[in-house]
Amino acid sequence: MPIKKEPNGRRSIQVEVEVPGTPEEVWRAINTSNGISSWFVPAKTEERVGGKMSLDFGPGMESDATITAWDPPHYSAKQSSELGSEAPPMAFEWFVEAKSGGTCIVRVVQSLFADTDDWDNQLTGTESGWPTFFAILKLVLTHYRDQQVHAIHELSFSSTPADEAWDVLANALNLTDAKVGDYRASLPGVPPVSGTVFLAGHEKYNQLLLHVDQPAPGVAFLYAMSFGGSSMTAVNFYLFGPTSEAAVTRDQPQWRAWLDKHFPAPATTAS
């Protein structure tokens, strides 16, 4: 969807998804620390106007925002200055609208005020990522609603081209040419992973989402993309149930070691 540009300088994008659950259940999924962490990135949030929300996208990519509106279970808003002191603040508004049949519409609106197009790529960049995370949100609300999450989020930056990095990761997990509906199990050499593909591909990079039964019930989100002059390869698991915590304790260091071995950080040249 193109950026909406208003006469007063407000520029915005919006993305929405229909998910199962009551407004109260959906609200908890998008506005509490455990809820956000169960489908997005590790989060800590203070549930009040003036409170702080912190999101951890990876080393050096932490993001803080201030809660500016709090009206459960239908509306919340946050504002972030993460783009820098010279950039306009970014606002995030979240709407939950009840539908018949036990579902809700979740809508996120991101906006900023600017006189030029200089910051538009910040809006379009995040807009392209929401559909994947909303697919995870929908799966989690369908199968793991209000459950405690234990997660693995490991990524590596390397000089390996993104397509080559994806081939290495996909081959190790026996996911080469995987399509939606395929059930796959990983090959020896990585921690055991098995599950059914429920989202494959992205218009800008390689990715797969799996509904997994190993290493524990939950979701696996795997991708490799270009990032600046390097590539970023990521292994993410959102795990639930009585075996999930032990699975994270066992597998997270193994994934870190595997990524370090196959995708070493680009060498730096001393000045």
* 188-216 confidence digits (pLDDT tens): 999 999 999 999 988 788 999 999 999 99
Same fold, 4-143 and 150-262: yes
Enumerate the domain spans of the chain.
4-143, 150-262
Higher pLDDT, 228 or 130: 130
Q: Specify burial of residue 216 (Cβ count, 10 A radius: 0-12, 13-18, 19+).
A: buried
Check residue 129 and give its pLDDT: 86
Q: Tell me: the pLDDT tens digits for 12-25?
A: 999 999 999 999 99
pLDDT tens sequence across 123-179: 777 778 899 999 999 999 999 999 999 999 999 999 999 999 999 999 999 999 999
Q: What is the pLDDT of residue 271?
A: 40
**d(C-alpha 79, C-alpha 90), whole Å:** 6
Long-range contacts of 247-254 (CB under 8 A, 24+ apart): 247/150, 247/215, 247/216, 248/150, 248/151, 248/152, 250/191, 250/215, 251/152, 251/191, 251/215, 252/152, 252/154, 254/190, 254/191
Please tell me whether the peptide bond between 215 and the residue prior to it is cis, using omega within 30 degrees of 0. yes
pTM: 0.93
Cis before 73? omega within 30: yes
Of residues 59, 34, 60, the one with CA closest to residue 47: 34
CATH of 4-143, one of 3.20.20.70, 3.20.20.10, 3.30.530.20, 3.40.1710.10: 3.30.530.20
Contact at 8 Å (CB) between 17 and 31? no
Neighbouring C-alpha atoms within 13 Å toward the C-beta of 114? 22
Superfamily classification of domain 150-262: START domain (3.30.530.20)
Average pLDDT of the chain?
Answer: 92
